[in-house]
Chains A and B, each alone.
Chain A
Amino acid sequence: GAVVSQHPSWVICKSGTSVKIECRSLDFQATTMFWYRQFPKQSLMLMATSNEGSKATYEQGVEKDKFLINHASLTLSTLTVTSAHPEDSSFYICSARGERERETEAFFGQGTRLTVV
């Protein structure tokens, strides 16, 4: 199956700093990428959907100025958590989908465990 690589797998940062998470599709062109957040013992919550070359579409309640998403190429999307606070500590997961994958599953990155201290 297709491979999506997410980096870093875990990060600890100080409150007030910014953290960038990368999501790469390694063997296909990801026309659409999804960013999820998952709190302990809860399901995935979609934060935003991004299409290559255009602005991301954020879900209701997600601050677009705090969670900056860039999808500048067909193989890379980044999520930057700006001015992180302890309540932003969570498991962030990206998934990617290409045009040929519309009929199959989206492919997930390994996830990033963010801890803000």
Chain B
Amino acid sequence: GQNIDQPTEMTATEGAIVQINCTYQTSGFNGLFWYQQHAGEAPTFLSYNVLDGLEEKGRFSSFLSRSKGYSYLLLKELQMKDSASYLCAVRDSNYQLIWGAGTKLIIKP
């Protein structure tokens, strides 16, 4: 079966750095996505990785290792507005997105 694993909840301090991990087992791989979702809102796109390595975009970076079936989202200089759920999703061989359950990130002052 297809499976995406990520921690259920994480807590971090404002101004600090946090890393959210995601491991996956899917039938085929056509890219990995990270989305941010605030409560009651639709997901918004953060990053896309299809090749191994680190993609940096401002305060957010995403890393991928296809051989390990592993990705992480790194958030730097955390702000209170970063409190949200972070969803990892993998596009499989049928170009269908397989979703993780999401990681709820709580930022404390």
Chain A residues, CB < 8 A from B95:
102
| A38 to B45 CA separation, bound complex (whole angstroms) | 17
Could you tell me if A44 and B40 are in contact, using CB atoms closer than 8 angstroms? Answer: no
Whether the Cβ atoms of B45 and A109 lie closer than 8 Å is no
B99 touches A44 (CB 8 A): yes
Q: Does B42 contact A111, Cβ atoms closer than 8 Å? A: yes
Interface residues of B in 33-47 (CB under 8 A from A): 33, 35, 40-45
Establish whether residues B42 and A43, one from each chain, have CB atoms under 8 Å apart when the complex forms. no
* SS of B interface (majority): loop
Picked from B31, B45, B50, the residue with its CB within 8 Å of the CB of A1 is B45
Q: Is the pair B96, A49 in contact by a Cβ cutoff of 8 Å? A: yes
**A contact residues, range:** 20 to 34
Task: Say yes or no: B43 contacts A108, CB within 8 Å.
Answer: yes
Binary per-residue interface labels of chain A (34-54) against chain B in the complex, 1 for a CB within 8 Å, 0 otherwise: 100000001111100100000
CB B17 to nearest CB in A, in angstroms, measures: 24
Q: Are A46 and B96 in contact (CB under 8 A)?
A: yes
Assembled-state Cα–Cα distance A107/B92 (Å): 17
Checking A6, A46, A108 against B44 with a beta-carbon cut-off of 8 angstroms, the contacting residue is A108
Contact between B100 and A113, CB atoms less than 8 A apart: no
Residue A106 interfacial (CB < 8 Å): yes
Q: Which residues of B contact A49 (CB under 8 A)?
A: 96
Check A111–B41 contact: CB distance below 8 A.
yes
Whether A43 pairs with B33 at a CB distance below 8 angstroms is no
Taking the complex as formed, is A33 at the interface, i.e. its CB lies under 8 A from any CB of chain B?
no
B92-109 interface code vs A (CB 8 A; 1 in, 0 out): 000111011110000000
| Interface check B48, CB cutoff 8 A | yes
Which residues of B in the span 47-62 have a Cβ within 8 Å of any Cβ on A?
Answer: 48, 50
Instruction: Please report the C-alpha to C-alpha distance between residue A107 and residue B48 in the assembled complex, in whole angstroms.
Output: 13
Residue in A102, A108, A109 whose Cβ sees the most chain B Cβ within 10 Å: A108
